[in-house]
Amino acid sequence: MNAIEVAGLTKYYGSFLAVDGVNFEVKTGEVFGFLGPNGAGKTTTIRMLTGILKPSRGEVRVLDYDMLREGEKIKARERMGIVPEMANPYVDLTAMQNLRLMGELYGMSRREIEKRSTELLRLFDLYDKRDKKVRTFSKGMRQRLILAMAMISDPELLFLDEPTSGLDVISARMIKDVIREEKRKEKTIFLTTHNMADANELCERIGIIRKGKLIAIDTPEKLKGLVKGRVSVEVSLEPMKFEPGAVTSPIKVERMGDKVRIFTDDPDATIRELVGYTERENLRIISLRTLSPSLEDVFVELVGDRDD
């Protein structure tokens, strides 16, 4: 079953087209990343998925509810947690009071709220600070609290808009660990990010959005496969001897210090040829590795220059 289904999703701000006929599905239990540069339309999309913003056109189904129907939207929202972009807890309330307020919004009992809040405060390492006003919290602590608030009702679906953007390393890691833990508990997570490393680390599938258009959608590994000719085989031989005829039809051969890097469309064939070459020439293989393109290579290839 799909947790999210989107068809022809479109948003105009006045005459400006911010999201342009986007189609995709997010499977139940999946961590799905929406990756794109600033201004690509990520926040606009997540706001339409969560029923905060009305699409200009298109269909949005979340947890099998039609988000364009008021009554169904309310039912869907009861089962989701949302971390909006640059959200802030109430700074004049304590961490605990913020959690209570959120729990009450979800209609939870006092007892449930206390139990779940304690769990979450511990999970996000905020328990000792639970009775301190949020005003005294660092940015990272505030964001951890925001995530705890979004998780108060133990929702089956989480929407996170750039959850680790601009955070200290410890807070970012804690949030990523929680995302992985929620995944283990079979929750569905939709997250936006402009950070390739985060998308690569966390997501099972990634949609890449550019200027409102979804330009690619696949697993991180398959997306990397889109970047032809960027796979290379790096080898170091002893004695270091490499002749152009050693491998047939490489895309490019680069000498780098005591190594040779061979760019190829077929790393398997290249490695076999290399091994044959070293046997014929009686050379020792000191090291041999295959280098895959990074998600960043894919991103640059697909998205191109940020200003174009």
Ligand X SMILES: Nc1ncnc2c1ncn2[C@@H]1O[C@H](COP(=O)(O)OP(=O)(O)O)[C@@H](O)[C@H]1O
Closest CB to ligand X among 38 and 282? 38
Does residue number 90 form part of the binding site for ligand X (CB under 6 A)? no
Q: What are phi and psi of 183, to 5 degrees?
A: -60, -45
Residue 38 makes contact with ligand X by CB under 6 A: yes
| 51 lines the binding site for ligand X (CB under 6 A) | no
The answer to whether 39 contacts ligand X (rule: CB under 6 A) is: yes
Residue placing its CB nearer to ligand X in the complex, 41 or 220: 41
117 sits near ligand X (criterion: CB under 6 A): no
For helices 169-184 and 139-150, what crossing angle results, to 10°? 20
x/- site string to Mg ion, residues 19 to 58, per CB under 5 A? -----------------------xx---------------
Considering only 22, 30, 42, 200, the residue that binds ligand X (CB under 6 A) is 42
Q: Which of 3, 6, 22, 40 binds ligand X (CB under 6 A)?
A: 40
Measured between alpha carbons, how far is 34 from 39 in angstroms, rounded to an integer? 13
Name which of residues 225 to 254 contact ligand X (CB under 6 A): none
Contacts of 129 (CB under 8 A, 6+ apart): 95, 137, 141
Question: If binding is defined by CB under 6 A, does position 82 make contact with ligand X?
Answer: no
- The correct pick among 44, 117, 171, 193 for binding ligand X (CB under 6 A) is 44
Size of the site for ligand X (CB under 6 A): 11
Residue 15 touches ligand X, criterion: CB under 6 A: no
Strand pairing partners for 33?
Answer: 191, 206
**Cβ of residue 199: shortest distance to Mg ion, in angstroms?**
14
Which residue type occupies 204? E
In the numeric block, which tokens belong to residue 55? 């699409």
Chain residues that interact with Mg ion, rule: CB under 5 A:
42-43, 85
Residues that bind ligand X (CB under 6 A): 13, 16, 18, 36, 38-44
